[in-house]
Chain A
Amino acid sequence: METVRAFRSMVKDSLGYITHGSKTYHIWMIFLTVIMLIGMYCYSIQLDEGLSVTGMNDRVSWGLYISNFTFLVGVAAAAVMLVMPTYVLKDIDFKQAVLIGEGLAVAALVMCLAFVVADMGGPSVLWHMIPGIGVFNFPNSMLAWDVIVLNGYLFINITIPLYILFRHYQGKEAKSKIYVPGSILSVLWAVGIHLVTAFLYEGLQARPFWNNALLGPRFLASAFAAGPALIILVLAAIRKFSEFKIENKTISKIAMIVTVAAQINLIMLVSELFKEFYAPTHHSESAYYLFFGLEGKTALLPWIWTAIPLNILATVLLTFHKLRNNFKVLYFCCFILFVAIWIEKGFGLIVPGFIPGPYGKIAEYTPTWIEIWVTLGIWAMGAFVFTMLAKTSIGIELGKLRYKKKKVLESETA
């Protein structure tokens, strides 16, 4: 009974906490809300007219939504890179970063699910996918696997931080006997969501560009570069805008992870390029299209030729300790790396899979404004969710939110 009461009080406290804040905080939240509203309006148009308002068609049947989904699965999985050392290897440095990382994972997963729903032709019959009342093509369909692992991962990433925060909220220590097994599970699970998402594409014999054994490992490498890169940027912002202390050591350690992952990613990219271009076959046409264009169709060239130099530049800069330890350079590197991988693992991966088509037809794809706004709206939603989660956990971690200490606190502030 006590626990229930404490929990209810925590929910109430956090609700109160997230609706109050500095001016910057309010402007930020209003800004996000406006974008979300525009996105929702655009989605309502899409619901009404059908997916024909997007740039997708029978020849390129997945576009911006699925690209973002794929990329965000990577971001979500990256939280694991922080979870592992903290909980399992007892590396104290990472402790604060982990809560942030898991919050990021939750936000990314929410966005993933939103992108999948946005991409569906019939969102009203999505219940067909719910095991029990629907029909689930398990274990045959990789999409069915993906639904399971994503929701499972979401569950794990909500429960672990919730448990820890709840204990801290009550002023108690979180019992490691309870959360360590959960963390180990989430570590394995993160690799799982990644591989399964890669298998989604890898398993299609119809699309040679995806049907490639390196796809899974490359997914992992690029995610472990882009995810922690984002975490570094977020930590930097939190350091700036709140009293939450994050030590330089923590950021440096995460930067190390980013560097190694980016290096491995680059090696794999070289291996892939070698295979496609040293002895090109018919199956290399998608890669040709991506990098050089085919028959004068060059829509993806600006994208990929932005991504590749950014990727290389960031990796090279990060490789030098001197540069990496300069935080200005580090933030810059993280930003361009994030953008580069977003392009590469999103657009650069999904769209060329459809081009050329099964019979060699080249039909290009350009997203429409409606599609772009829905996408922005979902990103804004992710940022919104994350801000709320981060604010609450920071509040609890700093001791501002405490069970039964509310009055004391209030009198303090008064």
Chain B
Amino acid sequence: MGDKKKWFQLDLGLNKKQPNAGTCGCGKTSGGCGSHAAEPPKTGHAISSAEFDAAVEQELTQETMVGQTRKDGFQQVFDVKMDRRSAFRKLTASLLVGAGAVHTSCSVTAGEETKEKAQLDWEEQFKGNYKLMTEEEKQATVDRLVRSYQLRKKENIKMTATDASKDVLFGYAFNISKCQGYMDCVSACVKENNQDRNSEMQYIRIHEMKDGEGFKFNEADDNYYHEVPAEGHFYMGTQCFHCDNPPCVEVCPVEATWREEDGLVVIDYDWCIGCRYCMAACPYDGRRFNWSKPEVPEEEVNKNQHYLGNRLRKKGVMEKCTFCVQRSRSGKDPACVEACPTGARIFGNLLDPDSTIRWVLENKQVFRLKEDLGTEPKFWYFMD
């Protein structure tokens, strides 16, 4: 029954006790189980509305101590999995730093460095698609990029290639009643993700809409420069929604963009040929293109990078929101969630029955944009 659907449907197993079940629990063949919000709260979910607000409150106050020992449900999974990898990575990084130090101390001729640079560039130019690389190859390209940056800028960066963890599916919810249009998320995102400062690229757009007129995106202003919250307006943010059935991924001729196991839709910037077909295919204005060489002032570069996330891009490639893969895969919230002063942004693991995001999906009236297109975005809107 459930598995004979004509179109793709996101299945979070919300109707079953067991998360991540293979078939849809509601047993209907047509869109029935999409309306999670209409279902009564399940037993076993004992968070009340007050507790939810308290949780949001707590998240806001915790902002200052982020990075300390706050453990989310899925972070524990990471910690176990991360150990060996990070140890390996640390080792190589220190080796590289050591090598760099040796280089400078022995005053090796510049010629050798140029040669190494050329060698690195050569290997980078002809490497394969990240999606199809083995663990070792992934690590090798990361190391090359780190080394190359070191050679060029005489600075060290930290780059990871953390893979998706099992039993994690990232999702996002946006509280329309809370957002005041401060755009702190936008600037935090630009900083975190090393976006081009020249063209003022922004992944997030905040649409300012008039009260009482409903969601009229075409009349909304997504580029305002006045004091907020403006009288008689409400705000709605859009970005890449990390569709579970992403049309952008289908159309890419070289598989430079794909959906990861944990639901993130990512791009291999080095494999992208810049045809912009994905941009035409995205119904949510989620993608951004580097029309010229992206520039970030050296002192503003976020050096904590992920291969699929905020590492520095080059001209002529596609990029977009990755739910801050460099943060989310190490158990942190994306920068926008952390930066939002009103608590309008909720992020978490959809497969964890105790996560805040699941509570929102099950207890609030949620909706998504353009649901009729069958893209199944993992980005929900709700109101208090």
Contacts and interface: CB of A to CB of B under 8 A. Distances in A.
B291 A135 contact: no
B251 A142 contact: yes
Residue with the greatest number of chain A CB neighbours at <10 A, chosen from B217, B222, B277: B277
Contacts of B291: 50-52, 56-58
B340 interface: no
B238 A359 contact: yes
A121 B274 contact: yes
B15 to A, nearest CB: 27
Interface stretch (B75-83, B186-194, B278-286): B278-286
Interface in A394-414: none
Given A137-B252, A357-B285, A359-B285, A61 B276 contact: yes
B374 interface: yes
Interface stretch (A22-30, A170-178, A200-208, A324-332): A200-208
B253 A137 contact: yes
A125 B273 contact: yes
Interface string B110-144: 00000000000000010011011000000000000
B274 A122 contact: yes
Contact of A205 (B128, B131, B219, B374): B374
Given A128-B273, A205-B283, A50 B218 contact: no
B42 interface: no
A147 B131 CA distance: 22
A357 B370 CA distance: 14
A126 B275 CA distance: 10
A144 interface: yes
B271 A128 contact: yes
A134 B254 contact: yes
Contact of B316 (A51, A58, A140, A144): A51
A41 interface: no
Given A128-B271, A141-B250, A141-B252, A121 B276 contact: yes
Count chain B CB atoms within 10 A of each CB in A116, A119, A125, A203 and give the residue with the most.
A125
A359 B217 contact: yes
Contact of A122 (B250, B255, B272): B272
Nearest to B272: A122
Interface in B72-106: none
Contacts of B317: 121-122
A141 B220 CA distance: 33
Interface string A127-151: 0110000111100111110010000
A354 B285 CA distance: 11
A66 to B, nearest CB: 9
Looking at chain A's contact residues, the main secondary structure is: loop
A235 B87 CA distance: 72
Nearest to B318: A121
Contact of A135 (B207, B254, B283): B254
A162 to B, nearest CB: 29
Contact of A353 (B247, B254, B280, B315): B280
A136 B250 contact: no
A359 B239 CA distance: 11
B292 interface: yes
B280 A207 contact: yes
A284 to B, nearest CB: 13
A222 B254 CA distance: 30
A120 B280 contact: no
Contact of B275 (A120, A124, A134): A120
A204 B280 contact: yes
A57 B293 CA distance: 14
Nearest to B284: A358
A49 interface: yes
Interface in B242-280: 247, 250-256, 270-277, 279-280
A46 to B, nearest CB: 10
A62 interface: yes
B124 to A, nearest CB: 11
B221 to A, nearest CB: 10
B292 A359 contact: no
Contact of A141 (B129, B205, B251, B272): B251
A143 B315 contact: no
Interface in A220-260: none
Given A50-B316, A52-B292, A125-B273, A135 B129 contact: yes
A103 interface: no
Contact of A50 (B129, B276, B293, B318): B293
B138 to A, nearest CB: 15
Contacts of B132: 135
Given A120-B273, A359-B217, A61 B279 contact: yes
A91 B377 CA distance: 57
Contacts of B250: 140-141
B282 A121 contact: no
B21 interface: no
A62 B276 contact: yes
Interface string B188-228: 00000000000100000101000000001111101000000
A240 to B, nearest CB: 41
Given A62-B280, A353-B280, A205 B273 contact: no
Nearest to A295: B218
B254 A359 contact: no
A366 to B, nearest CB: 15
Nearest to A145: B253
B255 A135 contact: yes
B292 A49 contact: yes
Given A120-B275, A147-B253, A359-B238, A58 B289 contact: yes
A361 B222 contact: yes
A356 interface: yes
Most chain A C-beta atoms within 10 Å of own C-beta, residue among B132, B270, B275: B275
The 5 closest A-B pairs by CB, nearest first: A121-B274, A360-B218, A121-B316, A206-B283, A52-B291
17 contacts: A50-B292, A50-B293, A50-B315, A51-B316, A58-B287, A116-B275, A119-B276, A120-B316, A121-B274, A121-B276, A121-B315, A125-B125, A136-B254, A141-B277, A205-B247, A359-B217, A360-B220
Interface of B: 125, 128-129, 131-132, 199, 205, 207, 216-220, 222, 238, 247, 250-256, 270-277, 279-285, 287-293, 315-318, 373-375
Given A357-B285, A358-B283, 15 more contacts: A50-B292, A58-B279, A119-B275, A125-B125, A125-B270, A128-B254, A135-B131, A140-B250, A141-B252, A147-B253, A204-B251, A204-B280, A206-B281, A358-B284, A359-B207
